[in-house]
Amino acid sequence: MQALGFILRRVLLLVVVLFAVSVLTFAIVNVLPGDVATAVLGDMATPDQVLAVRKTLGLDQPLAERYLRWLLGVLQGDFGRSLQHGQPIGPILMGRLGNSAILGLITLAIAAPLAVALGVMAALKPGGVLDRVIGGIAVGAYALPEYVIGLFGILAFSIWWPVLPGSSLMDPNENPLARPEALILPIGVLITGMLAFISQVTRASMIQVMGSAYIRTAVLKGVPRWRVVMKHAMPNLLPPTIAEIGMYFGYVIGGLVVVETLFSYAGLGQLVTNAVSYRDVPVIQAVVLIVAAAYGIGNLLADVAALLMNPRLRS
């Protein structure tokens, strides 16, 4: 009952957050200097041409009215038309979203369990060789931005030792799973960043769990070490760690923007980068809203999972 209430409250909160996000993005993109008309027409456009384009795009309307119209459309599933391409945004968005989701979900599926495993191993002997190796690599990987790791990956695996394509260059409608080799480097970069962070967070919580009185109880009950870790420590380690991974979700999305641009991968990140340089306001808004929703839902799912795994919060 408490749990159900918690989830409902969080869903309501998410709706409020998304509304606030849409208002803010709308406000921000509309106070940016320059507009789509000049961007589409180029430097040589006359003021009359610009005015005409603005009129056809509806940019001469007041801001609030434009926002309300946009909001009504979104509530009916219509994100409007791209100013840059003139096509409806919905279908473009769906394809790109799918591509990004493939990248992000594969990253999470590999990195989350791996990071937890590394963190646990490091925590079993704090200060030991394994801990220092994992910790050292993690700090290094965390300190380097994705594009540095990405460029280094391209250098190593597609130039010095050319086994992988250095760019995913693909048609937005192409299924990325058809060419798995093109996914390896981008996913590798994303995983590296995530492993670094999550493994160290896991290590810290695991050290705390292993130092707790109930672990002492288990040991003095004669429980073998592996069973202490798997049956007594894990159920207490996972809820906070999963919530932590949920928080990290936003970082994965941010990483996607960099990685997709770097590897020319046709996902949301690449879409929004282009949209920003073209002042393609409807696209920017749609992408930001989708990303915020994904972030919020990811976080919510993680919290709900953590909640359901914790008997103290469940009842």
Partner 1 sequence: MTVMSKIEPPVLAVRDLSISYGPLQAVRGVSFSIAPGEAMGLIGESGSGKSSVAYAVMRYIKGQASGEVHVAGQDVMALSEQALGKLRGRTAAMVYQDPMSALNPAIKVGEQIAEAIRLHGRIGKALAWKRGVALLERVHLPRPAEIAHRYPHQLSGGQQQRVVIAMALACDPQLLIMDEPTTGLDVTTEAVILDLVNELRRETGVAVLFISHNMGVVAQVCDRVGVLYAGQLIEEGTTEQVLRQPRHPYTVALMRAMPAIDGPRRRLAAIPGRLPDLRSPPPGCIFTPRCAMATAECESRMPDLANSSGGGHRSRCHYRDEVALRLPPEPLVAEVQLVEARQERPRLQIIAVSKQFRARPALPFMRGPAPVRAVDDVTLDIPPGRTLAVVGESGSGKSTLARCVAGLIVPEDGAIRLENEVLDPLVQKRGRAAQQAVQFVFQNPDAALNPHWTVAEIVGRPMRLYGGQGEGKALRHRIIEQLEAVKLGERYLDLYPREMSGGEKQRVSIARAFAGRPRLVICDEPTSALDISVQAAILNELLALQRENGTSYLFISHDLGVVRHVAHEVAIMRHGRIVESGPPAAVFGDPREEYTRNLIAAIPTLERREAAPALLTA
How many other CB atoms sit within 10 Å of the CB of residue 305?
Answer: 16
Near partner 1 by CB under 8 A: residue from 148, 212, 277, 301: 212
Q: Which of 4, 25, 101, 145 is nearest to 298 (CA)?
A: 101
Query: Under the criterion CB under 8 A, does residue 75 sit at the interface with partner 1?
Result: no
Question: CB of residue 243 vs partner 1: minimum separation in angstroms?
Answer: 15
**Counting contacts by CB under 8 A, is residue 208 touching partner 1?**
no
Q: Least separation, in Å, of the C-beta of 125 and partner 1?
A: 14
Site string for partner 1, 83-112 (x = CB under 8 A): ------------------------------
Site residues (CB under 8 A) for partner 1, limited to 226-285: 231-232, 235-236
CB of 131 to partner 1, least distance (A): 18
180 binds partner 1 (CB under 8 A): no
311 touches partner 1 (CB under 8 A): yes
Distance CA 309, CA 296 (A): 20
For partner 1, the closer CB: 7 or 110: 7
Which residues of the shown chain bind partner 1 in the complex (CB under 8 A)?
1-2, 4-6, 8-9, 212-214, 216-224, 231-232, 235-236, 309-312, 315
